[in-house]
Amino acid sequence: MLKTRQILGCSSGLVSHRWKPYSYTGSRQVSFISISTCSKPLLLLSSSSSSSTILPTTTTLLLPGSSPRRTRLGAFSMSSAHSGPNPGGPSSSVAVHSAGNARKINFCQWCGGPTKHEIPDGEEKIRAICTVCDKITYENPKMVVGCLIEHDNMVLLCKRKIQPSYGLWTLPAGYMEIGESATEGAIRETWEEACAEVEVLSPFAQLDIPLIGQTYVIFLARLKKPHFSPGPESSECRLFAIDDIPFDSLAFSSMVVTLKLYAEDVKAGKLKFHYGIINKKPGTSPSDMHAYTLDYHLQS
């Protein structure tokens, strides 16, 4: 039960991102996406829990016991209901979980000196502080970028030839590199894993996975040329019709969520932009692709 709450305000200033529309050869069409966000979003803190909820100022927060299950968020629709194999969790409140304790860093990344672990002045979390040069080591999430490639009403998947998830199917995706944009990284990863030249059309999904410190950004894309083949990290590349996507043989929970949302959108006749938080079930392996809930799901 939440006992006390503190709302931290937001400064003015909006950032707007617009993506131009594109049309399919069929009847499906995607409208442009307009996203407006506050430069300093609201932070909801609970005195009875270590978790916090960060929300744009236009968000309506659903507290335990409230009746609405869906509300509008600017150009987005927000659903607080869990999806995935664990429908038994709370469905009347927005669930945002902390990733837990960061891994222990014993040596400074700048000078190699030993570190101490304490909360620096003015901060809230335990950090690794160098006892020699006093620098603080901050750990930040990794960004994974990739492409959901459509071709002849099918999607391109790659079978992994490396661990983890050897032999399972995935969208071509990987870690974004320093010096490249998210779209450049997604295009590069697609070339490396599927030897395919693609054109990025629009963003499709951003999925945060706090437990493993990753954020996935998946773009809709199309082949520039109808050619693809396995790269060094893939044993096979294949186009799948929507009804033939191997959901029981996908590599990661992020792939399961992305492709399920895509299949739902295709069957509904309109593709949307999705944001969500993938929370792993407590006590399960981070690599278990089915042990998750999809929380705080926003869609345009």
CATH code for the domain of 126: 2.20.70.10
Give residue 282's pLDDT: 80
| Domain of 192, in residue numbers | 142-299
Q: Is the confidence at residue 223, as pLDDT, over 70?
A: yes
Give residue 78's pLDDT: 61
pLDDT tens sequence across 9-28 = 333 333 333 344 444 444 44
**Do both 146 and 293 map to the same domain?**
yes
- Which contiguous run of DSSP H or E holds residue 271? none
Q: Categorize the per-residue pLDDT at 6 as very low, low, confident or very high, splitting at 50, 70 and 90.
A: very low
Considering only 234-243, 253-262, 286-295, which range has the smallest mean pLDDT?
286-295
Q: Of 139, 164, 198, which marks where a domain is finished?
A: 139
**Do both 129 and 240 map to the same domain?**
no
Considering only 96-100, 197-201, 275-279, which range has the smallest mean pLDDT?
96-100
**Do both 123 and 180 map to the same domain?**
no
Q: Is the confidence at residue 3, as pLDDT, over 50?
A: no
For residue 42, tell me if it sits in a domain: no
- Pairing relationship of beta strands 214-223 and 142-151 according to DSSP bridges: parallel
For residue 280, tell me if it sits in a domain: yes
Cα separation, 139 vs 102, in Å, equals: 8
Report the sign of the C-alpha dihedral through residues 137, 139, 143, 144, in that order: positive
Between 264 and 59, the more confident residue is: 264
Joined together, the tokens standing for residue 122 give 């003015």
How many domains does the chain divide into? 2
Give residue 10's pLDDT: 38
Q: Categorize the per-residue pLDDT at 218 as very low, low, confident or very high, splitting at 50, 70 and 90.
A: very high
Give residue 285's pLDDT: 76
Query: What is the pTM for the complete model shown?
Result: 0.69
292 contacts 279 by C-beta, under 8 angstroms: yes
Quick one: DSSP state of residue 16? Answer: E
**Do both 278 and 174 map to the same domain?**
yes
Considering only 94-103, 131-140, 256-265, which range has the smallest mean pLDDT?
94-103
Between 140 and 19, the more confident residue is: 140
For the segment 151-173, the average pLDDT, to the nearest whole number, is 97
**Do both 192 and 270 map to the same domain?**
yes
For the segment 168-188, the average pLDDT, to the nearest whole number, is 98
Percent over 70 (pLDDT), the chain? 65
**Do both 204 and 149 map to the same domain?**
yes
For the segment 125-153, the average pLDDT, to the nearest whole number, is 95
Give residue 61's pLDDT: 33
- In this structure, which long-range contacts are made by residues 28-32, counting pairs with CB atoms below 8 Å and at least 24 apart in sequence? 28/266, 28/269, 28/270, 28/271, 29/270, 30/201, 30/202, 30/220, 30/270, 30/271, 31/270
pLDDT tens sequence across 38-94 = 333 433 333 333 444 444 433 333 333 333 333 333 455 665 444 444 333 333 333
Residue type, 54: I
For residue 85, tell me if it sits in a domain: no
